[in-house]
Structure 1
C-alpha cells in the first residue's frame, strides 16, 4: 500500500533532502504516452530513454522513477547516447533563453575571461577527440572544477569516456527528474 506511506525523504547529489510529490507523480502516471514522452525528452533528449522510462510505469514513488532512469541509461546504445548528448550545451556556453541550461551551468557565471577562453579551447580539443560535447553534471560545480574534469577526461579511451558520459547523463537526469517531481 504505497499510497498510505509517508513521502520518502532522501538526498540527491547536491545533498539537499527531497520528498516525493504524490500529486505530480499521479499526474505523470496518468498521462498518455505521447504527452509523457514530450515531458521526458525535456529531461533527456533521447527518445529511446523517454520510452524506456515511460514503460516502467506506474511509478510507486520518486525512487521508482530514478530506478527507471538508471535502467534506461544502462540500456542506451551509442546512437541513443548521441541523441541524449545532443540536448546539452557546451560547458561554458549555456544556451541563451534556456532556463535549465542557465541554471545547470550557473557555476560559469562570474568566471574570468581566461578560464572561459580555456574552457572553449579545451571543449574544442575534446570534441575533436571524441566527436561530441564534453558532458558533465555541472550542477554545483565551478568553471574551474569543470575545466579540471575536462582536462582529466580528455586522456580517456573512447570506451571509457562513453561510459563516463553515461554516468554523467544519469546524474543530470536524476536532478531534472527531481525538479519535475517536486514542481508545484
Structure 2
C-alpha cells in the first residue's frame, strides 16, 4: 500500500523502536538481566531498571551513576566478586600477563577481591601499562581507601558497558 500524499501534508513513516525503547518496555526481569551484564550488583540493576522509562541514553547513564554511588559495602562486594582482570590486547606479551597476574594475586591477597580498573578511552597499546601502574599504586592503599577507588572504577565500568551496548545499537 502506497501512502497517499495530500497537498500540505507530510506522509508519516513508521519508525522501528530503538534499543532504548525496547529496554524501557522490556519486562523488569529482562531489563535487570541486561543490566547485570554491565555491573553484577542486584541492588544497582533493580534500581536502574525500576526508574525506567529513560527519555535518552544520557538519562540512563545518570541513573546508572547515581545508583552506583549508592552501593553499600555488601553491594560493592557482590559486584567486585563477579569481576575479573581487565581484558588486554591479544598482542600483549606473555611476560606482561605474568606480571599482571602476579600483581593481581598480591592485590587479591591484600583486599580480598578482584582488581578492577576502567580502561575505556585508552589506546590498546597503553592498556597493559595503565593496568600495571594502577594495580601497583593501589596496592599502597588501605582497605577502606581502596574500596572507594574500586567503587569508582566499577561505576566507570558499568557506564562504559552501558554506553557500548546502547550507543553501539544506535542510541544517541
Q: State the TM-score bracket (shorter-chain normalisation).
A: 0.7 to 0.9
Matches within 5 A, 1:161-180: 161-180=146-165
Partner residue in 1 for 2:72:
77
Task: Specify the alignment match of 1:121 in structure 2.
Answer: 102
Which has the higher relative contact order, 1 or 2, with Cα contacts under 8 A spaced 6 or more apart? 2
CA drift at 1:123: 0.5
The superposition leaves residues 49-68 of structure 1 with CA deviations (integer Å, 9 ceiling, x where unpaired) of 10011122111111111111
The alignment of Structure 1 onto Structure 2 pairs a total of residues equal to 149
How far, CA to CA, are the matches of 1:178 and 1:144 in structure 2? 24
* Long gaps (5+) in structure 2: 1-16
Q: Is the 8 A contact 2:116 2:154 kept in 1?
A: yes
Deviations 1:70-128 (A, max 9, x none): 1111111111112212222124xxxxxxxxxxxxx234x22223222111111111001
From 34, 37, 52, the counterpart of 1:57:
52
Gap regions ≥5 residues in structure 1: 1-21, 92-104
Question: Take 1:145 and 1:137, find their aligned partners in 2: how far apart are those partners?
Answer: 10
SS in 2 for 1:106: coil
**Paired residues for 1:37-56 under 5 Å:** 37-56=32-51
Q: Are 1:151 and 2:132 counterparts?
A: no
Larger radius of gyration: 2
TM-score, length of structure 1 as denominator length: 0.75
1:134-173 Cα distance to aligned partner (Å, 9 max, x none) = 1101333421221011000010111111111111111111
Moved over 6 A (4+): none
**Equivalent residue in structure 2 for 1:106, among 88, 94, 97:** 88
Whether the aligned pair in 2 keeps the contact of 1:130 and 1:158 (CA below 8 Å) is: yes
Cα 1:87–1:119 change in 2 (3 A) is same
Matched with 1:9 is none
**3-state SS, counterpart of residue 76 of structure 1:** coil
Aligned match of 1:95: none
